[in-house]
């Protein structure tokens, strides 16, 4: 998450502001009942090249007007269907006449709402299970009768609704699968979307393509052509400003806008002085020289350092940086005559998060809460990636010909090195961190490990330690190294880097970076730690 991307999540304000006309794709809609896996279901279906969107369970039917919906998936969820407050599927879902696949809570809802019976199981069933399907069903076409699946439920179907037949049982659920083939209604007690259900993707493909008849027409090439058209339609003859952060999202968004409107796009890159070694130059080379975009680099290094003087509190740092960013960006954007649009790389998870959770969720770190620029400058948003997941953005970027260094760049926080210099941020302390970080990341890359890690970076601690070099006692800074593996930033595991790599890095940092005499490796996972130290 970086740069302007941080402005994506101004909760609740995004959906109405931008709505470029998009072609009506054959699509599956996932109705979200609060499962941690709802988005994963959508991703899995898109991996089958069928377009899929997630809607909150209380959405109106009109939320899907832009799509040619061919079927619904009801997600899992934390509730029990027999609780009075439990969320229900809207009547228009079952009233649509379209196929419905209920997963876990979604299956139990289906049973409850269509006249069956659900009750608490005698034991919770969590983890791997085996099921054996009986009879023929389009949902299991081409699959063996015995399947390994992943369960996570306490309730179970006591009696399927009229019209449904049980298709499989597991040790703890007499009805692990149920079907009413005539109506295209299916229920799965297990989770086909998780990797622990090895044939889950086949089941979802059978549902989307076989039962719903949705075409597999969601490809990067189509997406690019349609999006370029949509940007042209939205922007007309206007001018667009786009903030580049160096990360993949803003790069792909800018490249799509550039394809659509060429020189009427101006990209701004704010050099806040909190970047890693060589980063500003890399961005300039990639976008101005290679991609031939209209790029302005704003040298705001002094402004940021001044804003950070004597600040040690991480949240104060973030607020000061957010404000300095907006000031620097706005001052430059105002010099672009008649720019009325702001292009940014908002991704689908942020759109869903802001639409379904509003502003109520706990604020651990404030990076989802910066913003206000579009309103202040009265700019209309252009968000070509607002329906994409991160891996899809990379696929689109590759198709657009973006270089690997940009496509596979690890996430870098908007406040940059300021949240990796613990304590006060000064030019000198930044220089120490930058030098140590360049050694660590360089060695990780040379070892071929960069892509396998979510992030790897150095932190300058505010601890000074005693050491001995030659015959001298030293009293220097301690650098911490952090490397994590993750699927997304919600959870992360500290990376088991090879000891000889760590030894080489430690040795080089102490020898090559003045004032550093100790290197430690962070072995905390998230949770309970966060990825960044501040
Ligand atoms: P944490 O430290 O919360 O980080 O585990 C999760 C992910 O978010 C990044 N991060 C930020 N990104 N502004 C951003 O744009 C921020 O203030 C910020 N803080 C953390 C972090 O690098 C990791 O990928």
Instruction: Using the Cα atoms of residue 334, residue 340, residue 345 and residue 351 in order, give the sign of their dihedral.
Output: positive
Nearest residue (by CA) to ligand 1, atom 19, is 413
- Does residue 451 carry a pLDDT above 50? yes
Distance 413 CA to ligand 1 centre (A): 5
Using CB distances shorter than 6 Å, the residues near ligand 1 are 1-2, 6, 318, 364-365, 367, 411, 413-415, 455, 489, 526, 530-532
* pLDDT tens-digit series, residues 115-168: 999 999 878 888 899 999 998 999 999 999 999 999 988 899 999 999 999 999
Instruction: Please give the pLDDT value at position 355.
Output: 57
Q: Residue range 477-498: average pLDDT?
A: 93
Its sign, for the CA torsion 103, 107, 109, 113, is: positive
**Would you say residue 364 has pLDDT above 50?**
no
Q: Are 534 and 422 in contact (CB under 8 A)?
A: yes
CA of residue 414 to ligand 1 center, whole Å: 8
Give the Cα separation of 283 and 291 in Å (integer): 11
- The predicted-structure confidence for 169-220, as pLDDT tens digits, reads as follows 888 788 999 999 999 999 999 999 998 999 999 999 999 999 999 999 888 8
Could you say which of 52, 53, 104, 368 is catalytic?
104
Q: How many residues does the chain have?
A: 534
Active site residue 209: no
Output 370 or 525, whichever has higher pLDDT.
525
What is the average per-residue pLDDT within 89-111? 97
> Whose C-alpha lies nearest to ligand 1, atom 21?
413
Is residue 212 annotated as a catalytic residue, yes or no?
no
Other C-beta atoms lying within 10 Å of the C-beta of residue 496? 9
Task: Give, using CA atoms, the residue closest to atom 9 of ligand 1.
Answer: 413
In CATH, what is the architecture of 7-19+219-407? 3-Layer(aba) Sandwich (3.40)
Nearest protein CA to atom 10 of ligand 1, as residue: 413
Cβ neighbours around 301 below 10 Å, total:
17
The pairing of strands 100-103 and 185-188 is parallel
* Atom 6, ligand 1: residue with shortest CA distance: 489
Active-site pick, 153, 191, 209, 477: 191
Rounded to the nearest whole angstrom, what is the distance from the C-alpha of residue 430 to the centroid of ligand 1? 19
Q: Which residues are CB-neighbours of 404 under 8 A, at least 6 positions away?
A: none
Which pLDDT score, from 0 to 100, does residue 353 have?
A: 65
- Separation of alpha carbons 450 and 455, rounded Å: 8
* 419 Cα to the center of ligand 1, angstroms: 9
Q: How far is the CA of 410 from the centre of ligand 1 (A)?
A: 12
Answer CATH for 26-211 from 3.30.930.10, 3.40.30.10, 3.40.50.880, 3.40.630.30: 3.40.50.880
Lowest-confidence segment of 22-26, 280-284, 385-389 by average pLDDT: 22-26
User: Would you call 104 a catalytic residue per the annotation?
Assistant: yes
Residue 377 is predicted with a pLDDT of: 82
CATH: 3.40.50.2000, 3.30.300.10, 1.10.3720.10, 1.10.357.10. Which one for 420-521?
Answer: 3.30.300.10
Residue listed under structure tokens 């050099």: 271
Complete edge-to-edge strand list for the sheet that includes strand 146-159? 51-56, 26-32, 68-74, 100-103, 185-188, 177-180, 165-169, 117-133, 146-159
**How does the average pLDDT of the chain come out, rounded?**
90
Distance of CA 385 to the CA centre of its chain: 11
- pLDDT value for 309: 98
Among 18-27, 222-231, 255-264, the range scoring the smallest mean pLDDT is 18-27
What is the 236 CA–ligand 1 centroid distance (Å)?
Answer: 35
Residue whose pair of structure tokens reads 């140590």 in the numeric block: 436
Q: Is the pLDDT of residue 20 over 50?
A: no
Inter-CA distances, 383 with 43, 309, 396, 429, 521, Å? 19, 35, 14, 37, 39
Residue ranges, CATH 3.40.50.620, the chain: 7-19+219-407
Least confidently predicted of 76-90, 349-363, 402-416, 476-490: 349-363
Atom of ligand 1 nearest to the CA of 411: 24
Mutation pick for ligand 1 pocket among 246, 320, 323, 489 (CB with most ligand atoms within 8 Å):
489
Numbered ranges of CATH 3.30.300.10 in the chain = 420-521
The share of the chain scoring above pLDDT 90, in percent, equals 77
Residue 302 has pLDDT above 50, yes or no: yes
Average pLDDT over residues 424-440: 98
What value does the mean pLDDT take over residues 85-111?
97
Secondary structure of 440-502 in HEC code, one letter for each residue:
HHHHHHHCCCCCCCCEEEEEEEEEEEEEEECCEEEEEEEEEEEEEECCCCCCEEECCCCHHHH
Lowest mean pLDDT, pick from 111-115, 331-335, 394-398, 401-405: 401-405
pLDDT of 391 reads 86
Residues 6 or more apart whose CB falls under 8 angstroms from that of 121 comprise: 153, 154, 155, 156, 172, 173
- Using the atom order of ligand 1, give the atom closest to the CA of residue 1: 15
Position 363 scores a pLDDT of 43
What pTM, to 2 d.p., does this model score?
0.78
Q: E-assigned strands of 307-415? A: 339-343, 380-382
- Closest residue by Cα to atom 3, ligand 1, is 530
What's the whole-number mean pLDDT along residues 87-102?
97
Q: Identify the pLDDT of residue 508.
A: 98
The H or E element spanning position 242 is strand 239-244
The stretch 286-315 carries a mean pLDDT of: 95
Q: Single out the residue of 384, 410, 416, 355 nearest to residue 250, CA to CA.
A: 384
CA 501 from chain centre, in angstroms, equals: 30
Average pLDDT over residues 76-95: 94
In the chain, CATH 3.40.50.880 sits at 26-211
pLDDT computed for residue 354 by the predictor: 60
């Amino acid at each position: 998450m970086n740069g302007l991307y941080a402005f994506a999540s101004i909760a609740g304000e995004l959906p109405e502001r931008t709505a470029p006309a998009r072609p009506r794709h054959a699509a599956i809609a996932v109705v979200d009942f609060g499962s941690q896996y709802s988005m994963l279901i959508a991703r899995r279906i898109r991996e089958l090249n069928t377009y899929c969107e997630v809607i909150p369970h209380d959405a109106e039917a009109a939320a899907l007007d832009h799509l040619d919906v061919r079927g619904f998936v009801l997600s899992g969820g934390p509730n029990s269907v027999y609780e009075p407050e439990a969320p229900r599927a809207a009547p228009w879902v079952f009233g649509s006449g379209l196929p419905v696949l209920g997963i876990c809570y979604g299956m139990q809802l289906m049973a409850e709402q269509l006249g069956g019976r659900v009750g608490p199981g005698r034991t919770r069933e969590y983890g791997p299970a085996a099921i054996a399907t009986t009879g023929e069903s389009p949902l299991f076409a081409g699959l063996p009768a015995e399947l390994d699946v992943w369960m996570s439920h306490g309730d179970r179907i006591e009696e399927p609704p009229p019209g449904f037949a049980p298709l499989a049982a597991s040790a703890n659920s007499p009805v692990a699968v149920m079907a009413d083939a005539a109506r295209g209604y299916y229920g799965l007690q297990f989770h086909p979307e998780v990797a622990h259900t090895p044939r889950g993707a086949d089941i979802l493909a059978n549902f989307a393509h076989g039962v719903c008849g949705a075409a597999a027409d969601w490809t990067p090439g189509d997406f690019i052509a349609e999006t370029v058209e949509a940007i042209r339609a939205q922007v007309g003859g206007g001018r667009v400003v786009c903030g580049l952060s160096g990360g993949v999202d803003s790069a792909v968004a800018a490249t799509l806008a550039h394809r659509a409107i060429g020189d009427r796009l101006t990209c701004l890159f704010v050099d806040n002085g909190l970047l890693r070694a060589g980063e500003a130059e890399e961005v300039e080379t990639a976008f101005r020289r290679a991609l031939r975009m209209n790029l302005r680099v704003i040298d705001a290094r002094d402004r940021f350092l001044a804003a950070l003087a004597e600040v040690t509190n991480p949240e104060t740092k973030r607020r000061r940086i957010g404000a300095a960013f907006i000031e620097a960006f706005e001052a430059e954007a105002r010099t672009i005559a008649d720019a009325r649009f702001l292009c940014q790389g908002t991704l689908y998870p942020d759109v869903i998060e802001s639409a379904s959770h509003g502003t109520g969720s706990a604020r651990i770190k404030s990076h989802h809460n910066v913003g206000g620029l579009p309103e202040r400058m009265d700019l209309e948003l252009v968000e070509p990636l607002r329906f994409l997941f991160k891996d899809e953005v990379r696929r689109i970027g590759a198709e657009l010909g973006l270089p690997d260094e940009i496509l596979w760049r690890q996430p870098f926080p908007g406040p940059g090195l300021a949240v990796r210099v613990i304590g006060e941020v000064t030019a000198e302390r930044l220089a120490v961190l930058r030098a140590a970080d360049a050694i660590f990341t360089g060695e990780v890359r040379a070892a071929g490990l960069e892509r396998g890690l979510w992030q790897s970076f150095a932190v300058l601690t505010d601890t000074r330690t005693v050491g001995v070099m030659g015959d001298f006692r030293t009293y220097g800074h301690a650098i911490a190294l952090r490397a994590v593996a993750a699927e997304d930033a919600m959870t992360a595991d500290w990376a088991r880097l090879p000891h000889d790599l760590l030894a080489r890095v430690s040795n080089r940092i102490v020898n090559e970076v003045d004032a550093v005499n100790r290197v430690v490796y962070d072995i905390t996972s998230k949770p309970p730690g966060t990825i960044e130290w501040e």
